[in-house]
Chain A
């Protein structure tokens, strides 16, 4: 019988704790955290070998949410994979949409119109705020600060209201397409976003006021899970985890896409590289995201009425009104939905998601079915770093380490 929950095969690089007669440091204890555990943020399983209360070896076991996304992309086709990208990192669906669309556009060799890019930037930055709010809400509830969970979710509900008005659904919007976005941001949505942008900085301050100097929060995060920049590079970490260690590397600045080079924003960096630094970096990133959103809204006001989708009928769906009234457009829509072909070749595109470098590596052979769609998930690398951070620390630090690294299992397992 094989049971992947109750039975455990020791990994090669986890040497066992030596047995000893010492009553305190006697036999090691194997503790199974997860796959259902309140502090693991999804279905992550950690097999921890404890020597007393000290973690001797940690073996992250992932795959409890492996749904076969990459295989699905290969059998569905380019266009139909969009809804699946939402469910990768499900706390920031539109970010994943944009990443996949950008990779497809690289493959197709098309450029999105300016207004389309601005809408995407707006959506991506709102997604980043959403994702960081989940980070702060869940991590604080794990570390005992329940109020923050309610504060964070109150703010998230406002973003949900915006996305609901924009796309008709709270989560998993699927509103980005190859060549732009499905629909333009209208006045109602704009007003909602402006209201949100006006209110949010004060609320972020409120959360920070409650947490930053809070004795419990400070003591449980400070000095926990310290990472050097060299460690981050070696262990493939990126995003806020890398910046928390002090390297100001942000793909939005370093390898800009969607016109990020024309926006004015700063990259916050930490100094020590512990969980507390990563928390500060994320809080500041939310403020910077709001700054970018403000600029994007200003631009959208100036370019009202311009196209948000590229005028290239090889890749872009015809307008819905035309599909309903014209046979040719109906056929064109059918062709694109069922048989969209991207040129032969390979392309990689990475976006700076809230967890790090989210990349899509696509290989096409010129037919309607992708040969390969590899999703470079930043979350998987964050999970991989758990043993590096947690080894030798107390079991109770695990919660702060997991929370500080910030990953979402939908993306880790794919």
Chain B
């Protein structure tokens, strides 16, 4: 795809749509989740990968415990402020493109823990794509979230980013040397929320 040249805008439009679809099709059906089992929801996450619910049917069963190998962060459970740094670093270490599911009410909004130690929703430190209510949500609900996320991935346009060229490659592997965001839509910027339509429009106009 490196040979694509943005010379002929008409032809590009046609071709880009097709490549987008191809890439999205590949991405959405081979999500590699990072199971961040923080508390109770982690057990249901295990049950979801287990025999009865069998996440492999949706192509997302290849759970890896190294963030470098994952593109889907499932924050399953209560996030405390003490743990928040670690979660943020895990998120930053994941290669782009990446998506986040906030599993359970604790990671969606703090849930029943309105206390001094708990982060009131993981979206105060990370951008979240899908929120799953429930305490803990049933595995069916999380599978539904993954299907919703697949639909969301379908609507993305990855080629636009490919044409912009690669970002700075992280040679040290620590994630500390990134001088440029390694995300499609400035995911890491808290000021530009990925769901904010204005941010998206600005991005497209560049």
Contact = CB atoms under 8 A, between A and B. Distances in A.
Q: Do chains A and B touch in the complex (CB under 8 A)?
A: yes
Interface of A: 3-6, 35-38, 42-43, 63-68, 71-72, 83-84, 87, 90-91, 134, 137-138, 149-150, 153-154, 156-157, 160, 170-172, 409-410
B86 A64 contact: yes
If over half of A's interface residues share one DSSP class (helix, strand or loop), that class is named, otherwise mixed; here it is loop
A234 to B, nearest CB: 29
Given A35-B83, A65-B83, A66-B80, A72 B115 contact: yes
Given A5-B86, A43-B83, A68 B40 contact: no
A5 B90 CA distance: 12
Contact of A67 (B44, B46, B113): B113
B82 A71 contact: no
Given A67-B115, A68-B115, A172 B51 contact: no
Given A150-B51, A160-B47, A409-B39, 19 more contacts: A4-B82, A4-B85, A5-B86, A5-B89, A36-B90, A42-B42, A43-B38, A65-B39, A65-B77, A66-B80, A67-B115, A67-B117, A68-B116, A71-B115, A72-B113, A84-B112, A157-B50, A171-B44, A171-B136
Nearest to A71: B115
Chain B interface size, as a band, is 20 to 34
A37 B65 contact: yes
B50 A150 contact: yes
A66 B82 CA distance: 8
A3 B85 contact: yes
A343 to B, nearest CB: 27
- The interface centre, meaning the residue of A36, A66, A138 with most chain B CB atoms within 10 A of its CB, is A36
A410 B46 contact: no
B136 A149 contact: no
Contact of A134 (B39, B43, B138): B43
Contacts, number: 96
Given A35-B83, A156-B47, A87 B89 contact: no
Nearest to A164: B138
Interface in B87-142: 87, 89-90, 112-113, 115-118, 135-136, 138
A-B residue pairs, 10 tightest by C-beta: A153-B50, A68-B115, A90-B40, A38-B65, A64-B83, A157-B52, A5-B85, A67-B113, A5-B86, A68-B117
B108 to A, nearest CB: 15
B80 A153 contact: no
Contacts of B115: 67-68, 71-72
Contacts of B77: 65
